[in-house]
C-alpha cells in the first residue's frame, strides 16, 4: 500500500521545481497565464523573501508539488492507494485524484493565498511537547478566547492561531505547562481559525462556480481526517480555511487501515522531508486509531447513516461564533497567568538563548569526533529540549549524510539539533564538502571547532541562510563557535574580512547581496568558552577566560545593536552541579558538556571504553601530544589509568623532534616500536599510507623524510582511536580516549544514584539531573549568602 503526501507552506525553497518546468512546458505556460508572472523565475531566482509571501508561496507549492507528482508517476512510481496534502497542498491531492483539473486547482489556490495574505493582526505559534488535550485545556482554563488550535501536526506538535498580541503573550503559559518549545511563526494571519471567516466567505464565491469530480483515489480531508465524500468536497474545502488541520489523526487513520510508516511517501520540493518525520512521530507517540472506532464508522456508512467521527486530536471543531471580543490582555500581560505549581529556586542561564535555538534547557552536548557524539545522542537531546551536535569530525561525508537523514527522520520539525564543523586549515576542500552537505540538509546550527579564524566554507554556510526585510537581516544558519582565546572570540563576533568577501564574490561563491548582508552581522550567534577539556585543549582557566570573552561580547553587542542578543556559553571541565553553578555565576548563558557524555548509553564508542571511563577518578587523566598538530606542540587530554597510549604517544613525538627521519631511530628501539606500538612493520604501515594517499601526497612521503615520519606517527594515532571505538581488546593498553578530570568528578557525584551504572545513564537524563541539582545548589547558596550564612 502507498499513501502519497504533499507538504504545505514551509516546504518552499529556492530552486524548487528545478528540471520540472522544462519537463512540463505546457502546464508551466498555463500556470504563468493564470498567475500573471513567471513561476519558474520566482522558484529559480527568487528573491526568497517574495517566495515566502503567502500569496506567492501557495501557488508555487501547488504547481511544484503537482509537477513532482506527475514526474513520479511518469517515472514508473506506484499508483497511490491514498492521497493527502497538508493545508494548501490538499488541493494537490485533489488534482492527483482527478477531482480538479490543474488550472481549476491553481485558480482556487491563487485566490486562497491572496485572501490569506490580506489577513492582518493575527499570528501563529508552534507548541512542542504538549498533547492536543493539554493545549486545549490551557486555552479553556486560562480563558484564551482569541486563541485556537489550528494544526494538529503530531500528537505532541500543535500549532495555535489567533490574535498576534495574545499569541506573543501566551508563551509563558505554555512553557509553564511543560512545553518543550514555543515558537512564534512568521505569518501575518490567524490561519485555520475563526478569524479567517471573511476570507472563507470570499473564497466560497469562487469555489461555487467550479466542478468537483468524484475522486479516482481516496483523498484524506484535513477537516475530518477521513476520506472525502464526493458530495461534500466543495463544502469541506471551504470549511478548511477556518477549520484546524487534523494531520496527525489523518496519519493515525491510515495506520489503522494497515499502512506502515514506510508506506508513506512525501512528494514535494527536493530537500529535507517535512511530513515524513511527522508520520514517524505520530506512530511513536500515539499509533493507529482504535480499530473498533473505525469499524463502527464503517458500519454506520454501510447502513446509510451519517458518519460520526471521534477526532483524536481535538474535542470539538471551533466555529466563528467562538470568537469573543474580550481580550485576555491586561496592560500588555495575560490576565490570569498562573505561576507554575513548582519552579526552581533560580533560572539558570539565558531564556533568550533557549528561545533563539528552540531549547527548553540552556544545555548543550558538544561534539566528540568520529561519531562518538552519535545520531542517537543528538536525537535524544533534541527530544528532551536540549541541543546536541553530531560528531562529524573524522567522519566520511557519506556517513555524515546517513546520520543527518536518521536525525531528521527522528526529530520533529523545529526540534533542535546541530553538526560539528571542525577546522581543516590545510584541507579547505574538506570544509567545502561538509558545507555542501549542511546546506543540502538545511542543518540549522553548527558548532565551529578549532578555528583560529573564519574560513570561506564557514562564510558560505552563514551567507546562504541570510535574508533581508528592509533594514533587518534575518539569520537562518546559526553558528556557535568554540573558542579558548578572546581574540578568536572577537574574530567570530565580527563580520568576515572585506578582502575575503570580495574574493568570494569575484569567484561567485557569494552574491554581492550576500556579501552586503554578511557585513552587517557577526559570524557567530554564540561563542562557547572552552576551558581545560578532554581532547584538544589549551588548558585554559574559566575564571579568567569567561570574563575576558564577556568583555568581547559587550563590544560586539554595541557594534550590532539590531542583531539581537549574542550569547556566551561555557564548556570544558563541567560535570558536576558545583562546576556548572560556578560558570553560570560567572555569566554563562548556557553550558556545554563534553567528554563526560562518552560514558552514556547513546555514545558511539565501545562498551570497553565506557567501562574504563566509568572507573575513572579525577586524577586518572593526563596530557599527550595531539595527533593532528603535534608538530606545533598542541596537546590533548586523555585517560591514562591502565593505558600506555599517553607515554607511547609522547615517546613517538619525542623521537620525531630528535630525528631527521624514521631511519635515524636506534635499530633496537625501532624494532620495539614496530612490535609493541604498531603490531606491524614500518613498511607495512607505509603500504597502508600509500593506498589511501593521493599521488601528490605520496610523492611528498617519498621525497620528504620528515613528512614520511610524521605520517607514520599519525598512523599510530589513527590506530589507537579505531581500536578504542571498536573495543579491540587485543590493543586495550593503546586505547586513545579523550577525557578530562570532569569524568572522574561525574563518577563521584553519581555514586550510589540511579545513574551510577553507565548502562542506565542516558545523555538526556544526565543533563536534566545536572541542571536540576545545579539550580537547587545555586539557589541554596545564594539564599545563604543573602542571609549572611555560610555558603560553602
Could you report the per-residue pLDDT of 695-749, keeping only the tens digit for each? 988 999 999 999 999 999 999 999 999 999 999 999 999 999 999 899 999 999 9
Q: Do both 63 and 207 map to the same domain?
A: yes
Q: Is residue 84 located within the same domain as residue 133?
A: no
pLDDT band at 301 (very low <50, low <70, confident <90, very high): low
- Please count the residues of the chain: 792
> Quick one: which of 104, 169, 485 has its CA closest to 329?
169
Domain extent, residue 185, equals: 120-190
Task: Report whether pLDDT(183) > 80.
Answer: yes
Average pLDDT over residues 244-268: 94
Model confidence pLDDT, tens digit, residues 505-520: 999 999 999 999 999 9
Domain boundary (551, 576, 602) is at 602
Give the three-class secondary structure for 509: coil
Same domain, 597 and 619: no
pLDDT tens digit sequence for 352-408: 899 889 898 999 998 888 899 999 999 999 999 999 999 998 899 999 999 999 999
CATH number of the domain to which 87 belongs: 3.40.366.10
- CA atoms of 401 and 621, how far apart (whole Å): 34
- The answer to whether the Cα torsion of 490, 494, 499, 505 is positive or negative is positive
**pLDDT tops 70 at residue 216:** yes
In which residue are the cell numbers 605520517 written? 711
The domain boundary residue, chosen from 270, 291, 312? 291
CATH number at 167 reads: 3.30.70.250
- What SS3 state is found at 334? strand
Residue 237 has a pLDDT of: 95
What percentage of residues in the chain have a pLDDT greater than 70?
A: 92
Q: From CA 23, how far away is CA 70, in angstroms rounded?
A: 10
pLDDT tens, residue by residue, 521-545: 999 999 999 987 766 666 778 888 9
Sign, CA dihedral 90-91-95-97, equals positive
Identified catalytic residue from 89, 104, 161, 192: 192
Is the C-alpha dihedral spanning 15, 17, 22, 26 positive or negative?
negative
Whole-number pLDDT of residue 206: 86
Distance, CA of 641 to CA of 57 (rounded, Å): 60
Q: Is 669 helix (H, G, I), strand (E, B) or coil?
A: helix
Check if the beta carbon of residue 484 is closer than 8 Å to that of residue 540.
yes
Mean pLDDT of 177-197: 88
Instruction: Give residue 787's pLDDT.
Output: 52
Say whether both 45 and 109 belong to one domain: yes
Q: Is residue 340 part of a domain?
A: no
pLDDT of residue 188: 77
Residue 413: predicted pLDDT: 74
Strand, coil or helix: 543: helix
The reply to whether 697 falls in a domain is yes
Please, how many CA atoms are within 13 Å of residue 263, restricted to the half-sphere of its CB? 18
What was the pLDDT predicted at 346? 60
Which residue in this structure is represented by grid cell 506573543?
A: 168
How many CA atoms within 13 Å lie on the side-chain side of 671? 3
- Residue 474 catalytic? no
| Number of structural domains the chain divides into | 4
* Final residue belonging to a domain, choices 544, 578, 602: 602
| Rounded Cα distance, 423 and 387, in Å | 21
Give 528's strand partners: 482, 569
* pLDDT, tens digit, 9 for 90 and up, residues 428-453: 899 999 999 999 999 999 999 988 89
**pLDDT tens profile 104-120:** 999 999 999 999 998 88
SS3 377: helix
Please state the rounded mean pLDDT for residues 272-285. Answer: 90
The predicted pLDDT at position 633 comes to 79
Verify that 531 and 580 share a domain, yes or no: yes
Least confident of 260-264, 298-302, 392-396, 720-724: 298-302
Q: Within a 13 Å sphere around the CA of 774, how many CA atoms are in the beta-carbon half?
A: 26
Active-site residue, from 87, 193, 248, 531: 87
CB atoms within 10 A of CB 44: 14
Q: What is the pLDDT of residue 324?
A: 30
Confidence class for position 326, pLDDT limits 50, 70, 90 = very low
Higher per-residue confidence, 143 vs 538: 143
- Do residues 480 and 589 share a domain? yes
**Backbone dihedral region for residue 727 (phi beyond 0: left; psi -120 to 50: alpha; all else: beta):** left
Alpha-carbon span 724 to 647, nearest angstrom: 17
- Are 403 and 425 found together in one domain? yes
**Which pLDDT does position 337 carry in this prediction?**
38
pLDDT digits (tens, 9 = 90+) for 541-599: 888 899 999 999 999 999 998 888 999 999 988 989 999 999 999 999 999 998 899 99
CATH assignment of the domain containing 540: 3.20.20.70
CA dihedral 593, 597, 599, 602 (to 10 degrees): 160
668 C-beta neighbours (distance < 10 Å), count: 8
Regarding whether 654 and 529 lie in a shared domain, the answer is no
Percent of the chain with pLDDT over 90: 69
| Structural domain contains residue 558 | yes
Instruction: Give dist(CA 151, CA 164) in Å, integer.
Output: 17
Q: What is the pLDDT of residues 737-787, one digit of tens each?
A: 999 899 999 999 999 999 999 999 999 999 999 999 998 888 777 766 655
d(CA 405, CA 640): 36
Cβ atoms 190, 196 nearer than 8 A = yes
Residues 439 and 581 in one domain: yes
Q: Confidence class of residue 303 from pLDDT cuts 50, 70 and 90? A: low
Is residue 322 domain-resident? no
Residues 365 and 480 in one domain: yes
Are 225 and 287 in the same domain?
yes
Annotated active-site residue 192? The verdict is yes
Residue 321 placed within a domain: no
Least confident of 261-275, 308-322, 505-519: 308-322
Residue 466 has pLDDT above 60, yes or no: yes
**758 domain residue, yes or no:** no
**Would 220 be classed as within a structural domain?**
yes
What per-residue confidence (pLDDT) applies to 334? 41
> Residues 572, 717: one domain?
no
- Mean pLDDT, residues 416-423: 93
pLDDT of amino acid 783: 65
pLDDT at 342: 36
What whole-number distance in Å separates Cα of residue 438 and Cα of residue 579? 33
- Joined together, the cell numbers standing for residue 536 give 584538544
Q: For residue 189, is pLDDT > 50?
A: yes
Question: Is residue 90 left, alpha or beta, with left meaning phi > 0 and alpha meaning psi from -120 to 50?
Answer: alpha
Which is more confident, 328 or 739?
739
In the predicted structure, residue 32 carries a pLDDT above the cut 90:
yes
761 domain residue, yes or no: no
Cβ pair 397, 622 in contact under 8 A: no
Say what the pLDDT of residue 425 is.
Answer: 74
User: Mean pLDDT of all residues in the chain?
Assistant: 88
Say how far residue 357 (Cα) sits from the centre of its chain. Answer: 9
Amino acid at each position: 500500500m502507498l499513501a502519497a503526501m504533499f507538504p504545505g507552506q514551509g516546504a518552499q525553497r529556492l530552486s524548487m521545481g528545478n528540471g520540472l518546468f522544462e519537463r512540463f512546458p505546457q502546464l508551466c505556460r498555463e500556470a504563468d497565464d493564470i498567475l500573471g508572472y513567471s513561476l519558474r523565475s520566482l522558484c529559480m531566482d527568487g528573491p526568497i523573501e517574495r517566495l515566502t509571501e503567502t500569496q506567492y508561496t501557495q501557488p508555487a507549492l501547488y504547481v511544484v508539488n503537482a509537477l513532482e507528482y506527475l514526474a513520479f508517476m511518469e517515472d514508473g512510481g506506484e499508483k497511490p492507494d491514498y492521497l493527502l496534502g497538508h493545508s494548501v497542498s490538499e488541493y494537490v491531492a485533489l488534482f492527483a485524484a482527478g477531482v480538479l483539473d490543474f488550472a481549476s486547482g491553481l485558480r482556487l489556490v491563487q485566490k486562497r493565498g491572496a485572501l490569506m495574505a490580506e489577513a492582518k493582526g493575527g499570528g501563529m505559534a508552534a507548541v512542542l511537547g504538549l498533547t492536543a488535550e493539554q493545549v486545549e485545556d490551557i486555552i479553556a482554563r486560562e480563558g484564551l478566547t482569541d486563541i485556537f488550535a489550528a494544526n494538529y501536526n503530531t500528537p505532541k506538535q500543535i500549532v495555535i492561531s489567533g490574535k498576534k498580541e495574545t499569541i506573543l503573550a501566551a508563551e509563558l503559559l505554555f512553557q509553564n505547562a511543560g512545553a518543550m518549545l514555543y515558537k512564534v511563526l512568521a505569518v501575518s494571519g490567524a490561519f485555520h481559525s475563526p478569524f479567517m471567516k471573511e476570507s472563507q466567505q470570499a473564497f466560497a464565491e469562487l469555489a461555487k462556480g467550479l466542478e468537483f469530480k468524484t475522486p479516482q483515489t481516496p483523498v484524506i480531508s484535513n477537516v475530518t481526517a477521513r476520506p472525502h465524500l464526493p458530495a461534500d468536497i466543495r463544502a469541506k474545502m471551504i470549511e478548511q480555511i477556518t477549520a484546524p488541520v487534523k494531520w496527525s489523526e489523518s496519519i493515525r487513520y491510515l495506520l489503522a487501515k494497515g499502512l506502515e510508516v514506510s508506506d508513506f511517501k512525501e512528494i514535494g520540493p527536493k530537500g529535507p522531508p517535512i511530513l515524513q518525520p511527522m508520520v514517524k512521530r505520530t506512530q511513536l507517540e500515539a499509533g493507529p486509531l482504535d480499530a473498533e472506532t473505525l469499524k463502527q464508522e464503517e458500519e454506520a456508512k454501510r447502513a446509510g447513516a451519517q458518519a460520526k467521527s471521534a477526532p483524536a486530536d481535538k474535542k470539538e471543531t471551533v466555529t466563528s461564533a467562538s470568537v469573543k471580543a474580550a481580550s485576555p490582555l491586561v496592560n500588555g500581560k495575560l490576565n490570569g497567568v498562573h505561576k507554575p505549581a513548582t519552579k526552581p529556586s533560580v533560572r539558570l542561564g539565558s531564556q533568550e538563548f533557549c528561545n533563539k535555538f528552540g531549547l527548553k534547557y540552556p544545555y548543550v552536548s558538544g561534539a566528540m569526533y568520529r561519531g562518538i557524539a552519535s545520531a542517537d545522542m543528538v536525537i535524544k537531546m533534541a527530544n528532551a529540549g536540549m541541543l546536541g551536535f553530531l560528531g562529524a569530525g573524522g567522519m566520511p561525508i557519506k556517513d555524515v549524510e546517513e546520520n543527518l537523514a536518521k536525525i531528521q527522520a527522528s526529530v520533529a520539525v523545529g526540534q533542535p539539533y546541530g553538526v560539528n564543523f571542525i577546522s581543516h586549515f590545510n584541507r579547505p576542500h574538506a570544509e567545502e564538502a561538509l558545507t555542501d552537505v549542511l546546506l543540502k540538509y538545511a542543518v540549522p546550527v553548527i558548532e565551529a571547532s578549532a578555528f583560529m579564524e573564519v574560513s570561506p566554507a564557514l562564510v558560505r554556510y552563514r551567507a546562504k541562510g541570510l535574508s533581508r526585510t528592509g533594514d533587518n537581516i534575518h539569520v537562518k544558519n546559526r553558528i556557535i563557535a568554540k573558542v579558548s582565546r578572546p581574540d578568536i572570540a572577537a574574530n567570530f563576533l565580527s563580520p568576515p574580512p572585506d578582502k575575503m568577501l570580495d574574493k568570494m564574490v569575484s569567484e561567485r561563491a557569494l552574491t554581492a547581496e550576500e556579501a552586503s548582508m554578511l557585513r552587517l552581522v557577526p559570524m557567530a550567534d554564540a561563542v562557547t568558552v572552552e576551558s581545560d577539556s578532554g581532547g584538544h585543549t589549551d588548558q585554559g582557566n574559566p575564571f579568567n577566560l569567561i570574563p575576558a570573552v564577556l568583555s568581547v561580547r559587550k563590544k560586539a553587542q554595541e557594534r550590532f545593536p539590531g542583531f539581537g542578543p549574542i550569547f556566551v556559553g561555557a564548556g570544558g571541565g563541567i560535570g558536576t552541579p558545583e562546576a556548572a553553578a560556578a560558570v553560570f555565576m560567572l555569566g554563562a548563558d548556557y553550558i556545554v558538556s563534553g567528554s563526560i557524555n562518552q560514558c552514556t548509553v547513546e555514545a558511539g564508542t565501545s562498551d570497553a571504553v565506557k567501562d574504563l571511563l566509568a572507573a575513572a577518578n579525577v586524577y586518572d587523566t593526563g596530557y599527550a601530544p595531539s595527533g593532528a598538530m603535534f608538530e606545533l606542540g598542541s596537546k590533548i587530554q586523555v585517560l591514562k589509568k591502565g593505558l600506555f597510549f599517553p607515554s607511547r604517544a609522547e615517546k613517538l613525538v619525542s623521537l620525531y623532534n630528535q630525528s631527521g627521519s624514521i631511519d635515524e631511530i636506534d635499530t633496537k628501539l625501532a624494532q620495539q616500536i614496530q612490535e609493541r606500538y604498531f603490531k606491524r612493520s614500518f613498511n607495512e604501515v607505509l603500504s597502508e599510507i600509500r593506498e589511501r594517499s593521493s599521488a601528490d601526497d605520496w610523492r611528498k612521503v617519498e621525497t620528504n623524510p620528515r613528512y614520511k615520519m610524521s605520517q607514520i606517527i599519525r598512523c599510530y594515532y589513527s590506530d589507537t582511536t579505531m581500536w578504542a571505538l571498536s573495543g579491540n581488546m587485543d590493543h586495550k593498553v593503546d586505547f586513545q580516549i579523550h577525557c578530562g578530570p570532569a569524568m572522574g568528578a561525574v563518577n563521584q557525584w553519581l555514586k550510589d544514584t540511579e545513574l551510577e551504572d553507565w548502562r542506565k545513564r542516558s545523555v538526556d537524563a544526565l543533563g536534566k539531573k545536572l541542571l536540576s541539582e545545579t539550580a537547587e545548589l545555586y539557589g541554596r547558596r545564594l539564599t545563604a549568602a543573602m542571609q549572611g550564612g555560610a555558603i560553602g
